[in-house]
Every structure is written in structure tokens, then in C-alpha cells.
């Protein structure tokens, strides 16, 4: 299978209360710290997808609300989509929305060979008959990973999310410093995520993730007996 037909989809949470970075100061110096937005905040789930050649599918934002507002995607990644769920969890219906988004952009049915989507074993994937049937109809193979393996077998987990999350936290810290007395809200997350996504969601990181997982180039020796 060609690398342009290999994809990995996964989600990550982004909170309005970021984790402050470490602060370096002289020994014994008092009152040194860094800003965070608040003690409690909201978390938005972002569904990302990338191929073995570094093609990124515009992400899907899941907001913690009953109805999605279009303005909540302002200044976010181009062609990103948004849905709402009070629990912020991905369910069968919402993953179906993402899959339709994927089909629209990738058009796997028109490709000469099947498109592979590597994903975790969440019930919204494995127990979603509508999704499975639609995948078969559109030349897509869904490969669900075994439990407790995703941190080693998902390119997004291995090489992309960590970088995006680091730059996202830096973007939040910068925003707080530039807006004294204000807190990050749900409305700012797409813009701040866009900064992290632009810096951490690189072709190099995506290609590296598939290589480290042994997916492409295919490598059985990536994981030792240990």
C-alpha cells in the first residue's frame, strides 16, 4: 500500500487552563511564577488525522455545549469543522460526522487502491455498524489497534500531539501575558490551537511518527521482544 493511502486518526483535549511551563530563576528568589488561566476551565476535544506522507486533514472541534456556534471556529485552521457535545466525548454520531468530512476531502472511492485508517479501539469506531458499512462502500479499511498499544502504534501519539501540545501551552502563556486580567475561554482555543498546530503539525513530524511506529516504511524490528 502506498504511503499517501495510510492515515491515522486520533483525538486530544485542549483546556482553557493550560499547564504552565517551568520557570528558571536565581536560587533563593521569591515570588517567581508563571500565569495560568484559572483553577477550573473547559476542555475542547480536537480530532486530528494525518497520512504517512504528511497530509493533514483539517481537524474537527468538539465543544462542551448543546449546540455548536460557527463563531467558535473563528481564526482556527482552514476548513476545520465543529460539533457540540456537553460531555465533550466522541460518540458514534460525532465520529460519523468526522468520517463524512474525511470522505469529502480524501475521496477514497476514486482511488485505485484502498485507503487505510489506523485508529484506536474506542466504541465509537469498533461498535459503529453504520461507519463500518460506509467505510466498505467507500474503499476504506478501518484498522482498530489492540488495547494499551496506541501510545506506541499511533503516529499522532508518537510524534505529533506532543509537539502540538507544547506549542499550544506556549501560545496560551503568551496570550495571558498580552491580556492582563483576562482568562482564556472556549472562544480563544481554536486560535491558540492553530498556533500549536501550525508549528507542531509538520510533515516531518507526521512522517517520523509513521516510521517510529513501523507502519511506513514497514518494519517488524521496531519493537523488541522486551
Below-70 pLDDT ranges, the chain: 18-40
pLDDT for 165:
96
pLDDT for 146:
84
pLDDT for 20:
57
pLDDT for 219:
92
pLDDT for 36:
52
pLDDT for 28:
56
Q: What is the 3-state secondary structure (H, E, C) of the chain?
A: CCHHHEEEEEEEEEECCCCCCCCCCCCCCCCCCCCCCCCCCCEEEEEEEEECCCCEEEEEEEECCCCCCHHHHCCCCCCCEEEECCCCCCCHHHHHHHHHHHHHHHCHHHCCCCEEEEECCCHHHHCCHHHHHHHHHCCEEEEECCCCCHHHHCHHHHHHHHHHHHHHHHHHHHHHHHCCCCCCCCCCHHHHHHHHHHHHCCHHHHHHHHHHCCCCCCCCCCCCCC
Domain residues of the chain, as ranges? Answer: 3-20+32-104+115-212
pLDDT for 27:
62
pLDDT for 32:
44
pTM passes above 0.85: yes
CATH tag, 3-20+32-104+115-212:
3.30.420
Amino acid at each position: 500500500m502506498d504511503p499517501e493511502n495510510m492515515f491515522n486518526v486520533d483525538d486530544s483535549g485542549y483546556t482553557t487552563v493550560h499547564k504552565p511551563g517551568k520557570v528558571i530563576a536565581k536560587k533563593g528568589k521569591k515570588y517567581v511564577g508563571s500565569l495560568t488561566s484559572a483553577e477550573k476551565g473547559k476542555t475542547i476535544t480536537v480530532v486530528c488525522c494525518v497520512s504517512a506522507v504528511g497530509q493533514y486533514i483539517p481537524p474537527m472541534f468538539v465543544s462542551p455545549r448543546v449546540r455548536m456556534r460557527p463563531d467558535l471556529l473563528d481564526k482556527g485552521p482552514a476548513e476545520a469543522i465543529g460539533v457540540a457535545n456537553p460531555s465533550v466525548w466522541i460518540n458514534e454520531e460525532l465520529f460519523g460526522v468526522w468520517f463524512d468530512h474525511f470522505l469529502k476531502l480524501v475521496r477514497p472511492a476514486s482511488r485505485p487502491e484502498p485507503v487505510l485508517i489506523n485508529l484506536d479501539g474506542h466504541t465509537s469506531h469498533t461498535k459503529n455498524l453504520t461507519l463500518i458499512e460506509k467505510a466498505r462502500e467507500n474503499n476504506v479499511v478501518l484498522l482498530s489497534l489492540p488495547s494499551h498499544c496506541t501510545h506506541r502504534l499511533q503516529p499522532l501519539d508518537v510524534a505529533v500531539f506532543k509537539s502540538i501540545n507544547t506549542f499550544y501551552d506556549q501560545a496560551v502563556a503568551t496570550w495571558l501575558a498580552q491580556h492582563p486580567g483576562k482568562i482564556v475561554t472556549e472562544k480563544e482555543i481554536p486560535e491558540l490551537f492553530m498556533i500549536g498546530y501550525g508549528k507542531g503539525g509538520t510533515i516531518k513530524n507526521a512522517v517520523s511518527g509513521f516510521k517510529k511506529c513501523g507502519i511506513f516504511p514497514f518494519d517488524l524490528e521496531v519493537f523488541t521482544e522486551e
